[in-house]
């Protein structure tokens, strides 16, 4: 995700210093105009805006703790990773205590959306900091401030709640069509444009028909998000019974095919229904 996001920033005329824990990934951006550096301190020193895009909250914390002593006064750290709400709030507290600022701004849209500059960006932070960040967000997608620090992660979790559940529902529709004698591809075409239309039906419905489960979004990543959703629900004092069921499905899949795309929920459903299978193509898993 970070690679196409940097390319969008560069194309819009922003100067970008790129750092990655795997330096070769930063070096790959040099031809596009980025300044790759191998030292984290060199990357953040004197920067007024720092953007992090990392795998999970604990990794963000490690990088942030290492960079904090070197950050410019009043620097704005924008974390576009997907973390827990409590983690984002802790980052905000840590940075503000040291005279810096923080926005959590997770995204939805995948690598394709990052390359096209059409990401949905959900930002949590002050109105003043968001206004400053808008020029940076604009090349990457559509940014919306959804509340104070931590609120961006809540909005992302709501997004992932809908994504995770809808993938499973689309898989059930595909299998029902197949088992009950309808053509799953024709069923999908027939209902598109109606109330059941969604990006999930469009993208992951086609993946299921093609049996293309090469990871775009991994099952393990979706499971991480599901667990974060339930943690946020517990903190908010509510119960989400459907999300608990979806999480259990992804827990089972993570034990069997952890690196597959989350649309492989169809495979798990077929395993629960021996003898039933959507389409005749072989499974593509890697």
Strand-pairing partners, residue 103, are 78
Q: pLDDT tens digits for the chain (286 residues)?
A: 899 999 999 999 999 999 999 999 999 999 999 999 999 999 999 899 999 999 889 999 999 999 999 999 999 999 999 888 999 999 999 999 999 999 999 998 888 899 999 999 999 999 999 999 999 999 999 999 999 999 999 999 999 999 999 999 999 999 999 999 999 999 999 999 999 999 999 999 999 999 999 988 889 989 988 998 999 999 999 999 999 999 999 999 999 999 999 999 999 999 999 999 998 899 999 8
Q: What is the CA radius of gyration of the chain?
A: 20
| Token pair 């950050």 in the structure block, residue | 71
Q: Provide the terminal-to-terminal Cα distance of the chain, rounded to the nearest Å.
A: 19
Give the span between the Cα atoms of 150 and 147, in whole angstroms: 8
Maximum C-alpha span of the chain:
66
Distances, alpha carbon 110 to alpha carbons 116, 117, 235, 254, 279, in Å = 10, 11, 28, 20, 26
**Helix (DSSP H) and strand (DSSP E) numbers for the chain:** 13, 8
**Is beta strand 119-124 parallel, antiparallel or unpaired with respect to 17-18?**
unpaired
In order of their start, the domains of the chain are 1-147 (3.40.50.720), 154-272 (1.10.1040.10)
* Tokens read off for 251: 């827990």
pLDDT on residue 216: 82
Distances, alpha carbon 161 to alpha carbons 140, 153, 205, 244, 254, in Å = 23, 12, 18, 10, 17
pLDDT tens per residue, range 216-262: 888 998 998 899 899 999 999 999 999 999 999 999 999 999 999 99
Active site residues: 156
Spell 159-179 as b/e; 16+ CB within 10 A means b. bbbebbbbbbbbbebbbbbbe
């Amino acid at each position: 995700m970070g690679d196409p996001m940097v390319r969008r920033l560069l194309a819009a005329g922003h100067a970008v210093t790129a750092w990655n824990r795997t330096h070769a990934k930063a070096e790959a951006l040099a031809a596009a105009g980025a300044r790759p550096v191998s030292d984290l301190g060199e990357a953040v020193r004197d920067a007024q805006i720092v953007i992090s895009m990392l795998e999970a909250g604990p990794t963000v914390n490690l990088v942030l703790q290492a960079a904090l002593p070197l950050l410019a006064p009043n620097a704005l750290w924008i974390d576009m990773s997907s973390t827990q709400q409590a983690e984002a709030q802790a980052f905000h507290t840590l940075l503000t205590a040291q005279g810096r600022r923080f926005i959590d701004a997770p995204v939805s849209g995948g690598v394709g959306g990052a390359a096209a500059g059409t990401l949905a960006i959900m930002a949590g932070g002050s109105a003043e900091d968001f206004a400053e960040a808008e020029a940076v967000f604009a090349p990457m997608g559509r940014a919306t401030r959804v509340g104070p620090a931590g609120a961006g992660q809540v909005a992302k979790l709501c997004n992932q709640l809908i994504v995770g559940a809808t993938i499973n529902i689309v898989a059930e529709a595909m299998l029902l069509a197949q088992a009950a004698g309808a053509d799953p591809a024709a069923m999908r075409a027939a209902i598109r444009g109606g109330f059941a239309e969604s990006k999930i039906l469009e993208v992951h419905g086609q993946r299921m028909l093609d049996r293309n489960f090469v990871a775009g979004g991994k099952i393990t990543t979706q499971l991480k998000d599901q667990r974060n959703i339930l943690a946020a629900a517990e903190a908010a004092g509510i119960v989400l019974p459907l999300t608990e069921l979806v999480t259990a499905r992804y827990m089972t899949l993570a034990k069997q095919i952890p690196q597959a795309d989350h649309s492989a929920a169809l495979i798990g459903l077929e395993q629960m229904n021996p003898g039933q299978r959507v389409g005749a193509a072989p499974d593509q898993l890697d």
